[in-house]
Amino acid sequence: MKRSRGMRWAAIAAMVLTLATTSGCGDSPEIATDPDAASEGTTTTDDSGLPKPAPAFAAHFTDPIYEEVSNDLTPFGSDEGWDMLAIWDERRGELSPDSTVADVLEDDPAEFLATNELDDAVAVQSAGFTLLRLTGHIDEAGRQATLQALAQLQAIDGESSELKRQVQDLTSWTE
């Protein structure tokens, strides 16, 4: 069944609402858990409130934009990017070395990219970097889709330094 963009974002909003009501919305973003609990879906956060990155992500994606939470052009600075990361941090135990960007989107990235709309490009960007941050890997088709999403964002928002950095870092990524 092909879902509209609005239905996809409604599903994401419902997951965020569920997380907020079941995990004590309003509590401090500092989560004191065992670092080995990542497979159970909870992780330690850094000062920005972002989940602790996988070591491979932290080693390669060193620019401060990957910790930025208030710039819409960064992977986790938009509401969509922040929400996707929060949802999948809670569901981290469902991710494996075989997980794909399509798994994170719960849909085919090509369907998002075919619309050539800002929100859909942001969704693919967010999914790609969420998968990388939480697992330290990205599937090749997902990497290409994320690069295409970044190209769409550049066409819409211009050649910002944040988008250029993401393209450079993702292009040079190797597993």
Confirm whether 135 is domain-assigned.
yes
Confirm whether 44 is domain-assigned.
no
Confirm whether 77 is domain-assigned.
yes
Phi/psi-derived region of residue 49, left when phi > 0, alpha when psi is between -120 and 50, beta in every other case:
left
Within the chain, how many helices (H) and strands (E) appear? 8, 0
Q: According to the model, what pLDDT value does residue 45 have?
A: 57
Residue 45 dihedral angles phi and psi, to the nearest 5°: -105, 160
Q: According to the model, what pLDDT value does residue 175 have?
A: 83
Confirm whether 38 is domain-assigned.
no
The per-residue pLDDT for range 135-158, each reduced to its tens digit, is: 999 999 999 999 999 999 999 988
Q: According to the model, what pLDDT value does residue 159 have?
A: 83
Residue 51 dihedral angles phi and psi, to the nearest 5°: -60, 150
Q: According to the model, what pLDDT value does residue 37 have?
A: 40
Confirm whether 54 is domain-assigned.
no
Q: According to the model, what pLDDT value does residue 20 have?
A: 45
Expressed as residue numbers, the domain containing 116 is 70-175
Q: According to the model, what pLDDT value does residue 158 have?
A: 86
Q: According to the model, what pLDDT value does residue 47 have?
A: 60
> With contact defined as beta carbons under 8 Å apart, do 41 and 87 qualify?
no
Confirm whether 34 is domain-assigned.
no
Query: For the chain, what is the domain count?
Result: 1
Confirm whether 33 is domain-assigned.
no
Q: According to the model, what pLDDT value does residue 46 have?
A: 56
Residues in the chain predicted with pLDDT less than 50, given as ranges, are 1-4, 6-7, 9-10, 13-42
Q: According to the model, what pLDDT value does residue 113 have?
A: 98
Tokens 């942001």 belong to which residue? 122
Confirm whether 39 is domain-assigned.
no
Going by C-beta distance under 8 Å and a sequence separation of 6 or more, which residues neighbour residue 54? 132, 133, 134, 135, 136, 137
The model's pTM is 0.77
